[in-house]
Amino acid sequence: MIGRPTRALVIALALSWAPVLAQAEDRPISDFFGHYVGSAMAKTEDSRSLGFEMRDLDVIIEGAEPGGFVLSWTTIRGRDGDKDAKRKTRTMFFKPGVAPNIFGPETQGDPAKGEEVAWSRIDGDTLYTYLMAVNERGDYEMQMYSRQVTKDGMALDFERFHDGERTRKVSGKLKRVED
Amino acid sequence: MMRIKTVLAGLAFMALSVPMAQAQDLPLKAFFGHYQGNGIAESSDSLYFGVTMRDMDVVIEPSAQGFFVTWTTVIRQGGDPNNPDIRRKGTEIEFLPTQKPSVFKSSTARDPLDGGQLAWARISERTLVVYLMTIDETGIYSVQSYARTLTGEGMDLVFRRITDGQSTREVRARMVKVAN
């Protein structure tokens, strides 16, 4: 027999947990499809200077058969249109992986040959993308992009690790735009 | 005056040449041997659960094309403090040369996204570092690195586990060379 106060407590606890449980469900990849633009602050782990700079960002995520997606992102360092602005664009295709929330490239790279290991995963409302490479000296570099769907668009965090130590962090907000 | 300048230049060259000589990577064969010792493991929850002691045994030996690293770890954790629970873990990996000098790859590397393990090794001066990378079923990666630095009596080991960018375990151990 459960008394009335106990039952009320159980219901209150269940209600307080409900949003957490709802958040824990992974979004389908189609929820991330769209065109996003915004800016971000890049911070270098260098105590000798303030070490930050602004960047403009452009991200496009679109569906690709069979059940995968194409991720394209552009980073502009310096003012777009300026002569010395640096623009870098990267496009990658990810196909469904071994689990519903995991995606991998068409062919995985071999780090021993200087190639990249890449994959993506969805956790809740965030799409994570990882790029790992081993350099000439045998150190490894890991780049992690986390792209969280928000009401207006996307929250981006990028971290670069060199041999396990974080060397760069970029955080930004992007708005969803109509093409 | 000229003689003083020549002496100073000679001293400066000698002072610079020592670090330059130290910076050179040791050949692989310098690491061959059998080492034993013990160490202390700290994890992200060590503040609450304390550190654990572990005994270690490492053999680094040549193979037909490269070299083998075989290591055994005996972990004493939990149970009665006077008679703790004991777990034993053993690993053997063969590494082969790559086109990069001082970098070696595992002979059995498999795509970590398909449940395999990537393993590679590098020599940096007096240190042989072995890396093992896996990706779990949720897509979260883990890189374990074993940095084994030669010392006068054997080697020092620093083991680190990085999970999704966070350091989750570190082990420091001192080992003595017991056989060549």
* pLDDT tens for each residue of A156-171: 999 999 999 999 999 9
Q: Is A97 at the interface with chain B, CB within 8 A?
A: yes
Interface confidence: ipTM more than 0.85: no
pLDDT of amino acid A46? 60
Residue appearing with tokens 């930050």: A52
Beta carbons of A112 and B103 less than 8 Å apart: yes
**Looking at the domain assignment, is residue A151 inside a domain?**
yes
**Looking at the domain assignment, is residue A42 inside a domain?**
yes
**Looking at the domain assignment, is residue A12 inside a domain?**
no
For residue A157, with 0-12 CB atoms within 10 Å meaning exposed, 13-18 middle and 19 or more buried, which class applies? Answer: middle
Contact criterion met (CB below 8 Å) for B138 and B155 = no
Give the CATH number, domain containing residue A167.
2.40.128.20
**Looking at the domain assignment, is residue A56 inside a domain?**
yes
Beta carbons of B139 and A99 less than 8 Å apart: yes
pLDDT of amino acid B85? 79
Instruction: Give the domain range for residue A133.
Output: 27-177
- How many domains does the structure of chain A reveal? 1
**Looking at the domain assignment, is residue A168 inside a domain?**
yes
Task: Work out the minimum CA distance from B74 to partner chain A, whole angstroms.
Answer: 26
In B, residues 79-138, which contact A (CB 8 Å cutoff)? 98-100, 102-103, 105, 109, 111-115, 118, 120-124, 129, 131, 133, 135, 137-138
Q: What's the rounded Cα separation, in Å, for the pair A86 and A74? A: 10
pLDDT band at A8 (very low <50, low <70, confident <90, very high): low
Task: Work out the minimum CA distance from B154 to partner chain A, whole angstroms.
Answer: 23
Q: What is the DSSP letter of A31?
A: G
**Looking at the domain assignment, is residue A68 inside a domain?**
yes
A11 or A32: which carries more pLDDT confidence?
A: A32
Enumerate the residues of chain B whose CB falls inside 8 A of the CB of residue A140.
131, 133, 143
pLDDT of amino acid B21? 46
**Out of A102, A136, A144, closest to residue B165 by CB:** A144
B48 or A19: which carries more pLDDT confidence?
A: B48
Q: Is B164 at the interface with chain A, CB within 8 A?
A: yes
pLDDT at A6 over 60: no
In A, residues 118-137, which contact B (CB 8 Å cutoff)? 119-121, 123, 128, 130, 132, 134, 136-137
Q: What's the rounded Cα separation, in Å, for the pair A25 and B58? A: 44
Q: What's the rounded Cα separation, in Å, for the pair A121 and A103? A: 6
pLDDT at A9 over 60: no
Q: Is B167 at the interface with chain A, CB within 8 A?
A: yes
**Looking at the domain assignment, is residue A6 inside a domain?**
no
Q: What's the rounded Cα separation, in Å, for the pair B76 and A139? A: 32
Enumerate the residues of chain B whose CB falls inside 8 A of the CB of residue A98.
113-115, 137
* Parts of chain B with a pLDDT under 50: 16-22
pLDDT of amino acid B75? 83
Among B79, B41, B34, B86, which residue's Cα sits nearest to residue B60? B34
Superfamily of segment(s) B25-179:
Calycin beta-barrel core domain (2.40.128.20)
**Looking at the domain assignment, is residue A17 inside a domain?**
no
